[in-house]
Structure 1
Amino acid sequence: MTRTTRTTRTRWPAGAAGALAAAALIAVTAAPAQAAPPLRGTVQVSAGVNGAVPDNQSFSLGVNANGRYALFSSWATNLVSQPARGGRDVYLKDLSTGRVERVSLANSGEGQAGWSEEAAINADGRYVAFVSNGEDVVPGMQVKGRTEVYVRDRWTGRTELVSGGLTSTDPDQFHYSYAPSISADGRYVAFVSSRKDLDPTVVDPEPEPEPEPSLARPYTWKLNIYLTDRRTHTTRLISRDATGKPGESTSFHPKLSADGRTIGFGSLSDLLPPEQPPAAAPAAGTADVDLPPGAEKYLPAGAQPSLARPTSAVYYTYDVPSGKLSPASFDVGGSLAYAAFDATISPDGRRAVYALSEPGGSTGGHRSHTVLHVRDLRTGTVTKVSAGLPGTSSVGSSGHGSITADNRWLYFESAADNLVAGPQHPGWDVYRQDLRTGRTERVATAPDGSLGNGSSNEPFVSANGRTVVFGSTSGNLVAGTDVPAAEGYQVFAKPARSHHVGADDQGENEDD
């Protein structure tokens, strides 16, 4: 099997304060007053001004709860009338009107001079959390050489810094904050940071000097997960070990539940409680694992997949009200396992979605591949998702799961050639699975149902299940277009009319 190789993005490492808003979870499944009309077919999200062909590639980042707003990053300079100043920016497309706007803006409303590639959107699309290394994002920025997390209020036009104060008490001024996730109401933002002064309640004596981080040993970076309450302006350390100290290594990819009560994240730090048996060492052959496209962005800085660098870690969930940290990445036999770095949780925080490696020659020449699993965090039940049609064994890797608010529909990317019957895609493609029936369908298809002529990946489904946003090099996904596959990725949105939440739900989701 051959496949299109995705262009690697240059990235930095990737990557309860106050009372919780009780209405936040409701907001994720309820459409705002002005609901978005459904899409009538696949559309290209990353389109230039007046429909011009983008002059560079774009990457999917998310979609709001009712599927109206698609979030993406781009290196293109012709998506809006004002050219990008930093070369990489975050954009939002209103799928109802077709309007594209840059959202990684300075507080002045002008484009900021830094680059922005990571972002997250809240339920109604009002708030976008983004990362920038620009020095002009908010007034009073005084320290150079750092990335920070900001929130842009699209209604008021205000941009605020959320990853700490404008100045730092940390003697290391070259710190990094990134990988934001935002709650449905926009109040809570989780992120990764190398700063040590964000939570004043944490005392980390560090009796021994930390090893000097380098590109050769990126996992020696001390990077932790934090949660900021934008209402109370307080920040809490999340990735603590059993003694309450910050994790000693790298934590990454935090994901907030809609109500802000649960945070999922991966960590190379030893955060397990004393009574929890450690995760078993990866089986022979699983060290050389075929990672899905885009997985490299979750690796520590400079780390690309290799035998010498980590490709998986324990996945955890953190309960904000109680402060309880629990391991989540168990296999179907009940043993704790190492999950790929793109693990996530469902909007209600009830399920964890993660990929575990299994021995078996992959299509990329590796000795193992990844298979998606879904764990019910309440009952402990684990379901293997991308294992292939009955009587077959999957060898192509799967990853980047995205699940709807009713916990029924799971979207994911895969290189497996045995997930659906009929003609098989020769590379990475986007699929969805009905978690009640086990049925899997291909998503990134041409209007007539035929295969996309390029590779597709990184799907994000809206909480209500009506819209999926994904990246693709295919040139035949939109009605009226049929051109060869491109070298770079663009972003597309597709309706999912047949299975949006409530369409055929006869009370079957009452699994409490």
Structure 2
Amino acid sequence: MHRSRKDPAGRAGLIACAITGLLLPLLALEPTAAAKTTKTLKVPARVQEFAPITATTTFTPAKPGTKVVVQLKSGSSWTKVAQGKQNAKGKTTLTFRAPIAGTYFYRARTINTKGKITATTAKKRVVVTQRKTRLVSRPQMTPPRYGQANRSSGLPSISGNGRWVAYSSSADNLVKGDLNKTGDVFLTDTKTGKTLLVSRTPAGKSANRGASSPSISANGRYVVFESRSDDMVAGEAISSNTGIYRFDRVTKKVVRVTKGSNLSYASISDSGNLVVYNSHAIASDITLLADLSAQPTTTTTIPCETLGNPCRSRWARISADGKSVALASTDSRVGATPSREEIFVYDVATEAIERVSPLTGDNDSGYPDISANGRYVVYQSEATNLIAGETNTTTSLYRYDRVLDQTVRVSKAVGGGFLNIAPGRNLFPRISGDGSAVAYISKATNISPKAKSGLMHAYVFSVSTGKTALVSVTPQGKAGNGASDSPVLSHNGKIVAFQSVATNLVPLDKNAAWDVFRRAL
């Protein structure tokens, strides 16, 4: 029996089987489709400073347990802000705090067990916005992140644009190298978050006996302050007397304005050349004006240099333009009613003296402050008859317009009445540079329905609207749960700095100390 020539099931079949046998191994060598590779980082595009940020990373193919880090770009370098491990799906969720306001970039990386970087995501941009109330007195950190002073801070002074805040602090963790174990003066740039030690030696170290009570020029360049230190100026004689010093933010140098005993309450003109301060060296308080533009520095006793014995005066404040000095005096040579403290303005160029508080006032006035151009003066008074038609029964605040010769009351309860506080309570008023607003403190409970009874709160009164704002408040607008003090205003009255021991004005305030805050109104 033989097969047909066509023999489809014979030789042809054998050939087909042979070819198939040869191809199968080759087909087995063909590559399979590559697994999908993912490297992503998800973060919010916008967040408030120091608020929690939740970041989600995805790296595939998944390698459960692999270390994942999130980094923040600070300057030219990247710093780790959070760390976690991948889950079975290659995902990791991490939470960390936003830094101070600004624009930042984040990225995520995977790192194997040998510490080698195996994958990196594209960088993501995050805009961190300012809170209305910001903590100023906080440690200098890189990258700029949340932290708290380890001791109390206070007595703030603010620049005209609201950017720079000077203050006293006994904390030793605000800047590196603060080793003197006493209070110092600091200057914080609220735009960058950077803090400078003001009371410093020529080498930039902390002064040997500390410092306090700063006053900043309106342009933010100069800070005057009190100190008993004797190592801030080269060649200064060893002394424990109080001195008045001036720090220059641009040159980082400290110069002595004067040295003596019982000096205090310094304020400075915008040029940085004129400094007014009080002295208690004699039996009564006197006011002195130092001119640093003269070499050597000249000092004049005001307001009555030409009358022989210095006139009694205190609480002096110089206008930013350096032309006027507001002060309180009981001296009849100035024009004061005998045994009564009253408010005056001294003209630096002409030495003329102008009465501010009405001659008819029937009680003491004090604690004046003056606007940048010298037009407006704010002060507190126990007098009952400063405004026609009003019979005051407690401490009140008044603003005098030197151009219009007009006095208005600026401390008002809801409805426009008087504050429900006992006479003699100091309200420590401060006026904005343009004279449009007045900041003060009070325990009165009828200024704002939010005010808590028994606590000192900080307020700002707007002259144009006649309204008073409680400024020591929580993010939800409620009153702070602790006392506040020493409010000061920017030139336009829209930014206020103050000190407070309240723990609910900003998140995570747990240091149980006085802090310095800045609030946008």
In the superposition, the TM-score normalised over structure 1's length comes to: 0.68
Unaligned runs of 5+ in 1: 1-36, 165-173, 196-219, 282-312, 360-367, 497-512
- CA–CA distance in structure 2, aligned partners of residues 160 and 123 of structure 1: 19
CA shift, 1:433, in A, is: 1.3
Give the structure 1 partner of residue 154 of structure 2: 59
Distance 1:145 1:443 in 2: 39
Report the CA distance shift for 1:408/1:421 in structure 2 as closer, same or farther (over 3 A).
same
> Whole-Å Cα distance in 1 between the matches of residues 210 and 365 of structure 2?
30
Deviations 1:486-512 (A, max 9, x none): 4x421111112xxxxxxxxxxxxxxxx
Structure 1 position 375 matched with structure 2 position 400? yes
Matched, 1:278 2:340: no
1:275-321 C-alpha deviation (Å, 9 max, x unpaired): xx61675xxxxxxxxxxxxxxxxxxxxxxxxxxxxxxx322211011
* Equivalent residue, structure 2, for 1:493: 518
Structure 2 match to 1:191: 277
Residue pairs, 1:384-463, within 5 angstroms = 384-390=409-415, 392-396=417-421, 397=425, 399-421=427-449, 424-463=452-491
Long gaps (5+) in structure 2: 1-127, 385-392
1:260 to 2:322 alignment: yes
| Structure 1 counterpart SS, 2:315 | strand
> 1:65 Cα shift?
1.0
AA aligned to 1:278 is T
Q: 2 CA distance for matches of 1:458 and 1:115?
A: 21
Report how far residue 181 of structure 1 moved: 0.8
Select which of 213, 224, 231 maps to 2:286.
224
Q: Give 1:300-319 correspondences, 5 Å limit.
A: 313-319=341-347
Q: Retained in 2: the 8 A contact 1:242–1:271?
A: no
Task: Tell whether 2:497 aligns with 1:476.
Answer: no
The question of whether the paired residues in 1 share the 8 Å contact of 2:290 and 2:300 is answered with: no
1:185-217 deviations in whole A, cap 9, x for unaligned? 21211122357xxxxxxxxxxxxxxxxxxxxxx
Q: Relative contact order (alpha carbons < 8 A, sep ≥ 6): 1 or 2 greater?
A: 1
Contact 1:38 1:495 in 2 (8 A): no
Q: Cα RMSD between the aligned structures?
A: 2.8
Provide the C-alpha distance between the structure 1 equivalents of 2:466 and 2:152, rounded to a whole number of angstroms.
34
The alignment of Structure 1 onto Structure 2 pairs a total of residues equal to: 379
Shift of residue 369, structure 1, vs aligned partner: 4.2
Query: In the alignment, does 2:364 pair up with 1:345?
Result: no
Larger Rg, first or second structure (1 or 2)? 2
* Structure 2 counterpart of 1:41: 132
| Match in the other structure for 2:495 | 467
The answer to whether residue 216 in structure 2 is matched with residue 157 in structure 1 is: no
| Counterparts of 2:265 and 2:342, CA distance in 1 | 18
8 A contact 1:398–1:412 mirrored in 2: no
Amino acid of the structure 1 residue aligned with 2:382:
S
Instruction: Report the Cα offset of residue 133 of structure 1.
Output: 0.8
Q: Is the partner of 2:428 in helix, strand or coil? A: strand
Kindly state the Cα deviation for residue 466 of structure 1 after the two structures are TM-superposed: 3.5
- How many Å separate the matches in 2 of 1:461 and 1:38? 22
Match of 2:240 in 1: 145
Contact 1:280 1:335 in 2 (8 A): no
Give a deviation string over 1:113-163, Cα, whole Å, max 9, x none. Answer: 022112211122221112211111212222523111111112112211122
Give the conservation status (yes or no) of the 8 Å contact 1:415–1:429. yes
The offset of 1:454, in angstroms, is 0.9
The CA deviation string for residues 201-241 of structure 1, in whole angstroms up to 9 with x for no partner, is xxxxxxxxxxxxxxxxxxx6344222222222342424344
- Cα gap change, 1:453 to 1:422, in 2 (>3 Å): closer
Q: Choose from 61, 73, 77 the match for 2:172.
A: 77
Q: Secondary structure at the match of 2:307?
A: coil
Contact 1:90 1:116 in 2 (8 A): yes
Matched position secondary structure for 1:118: strand
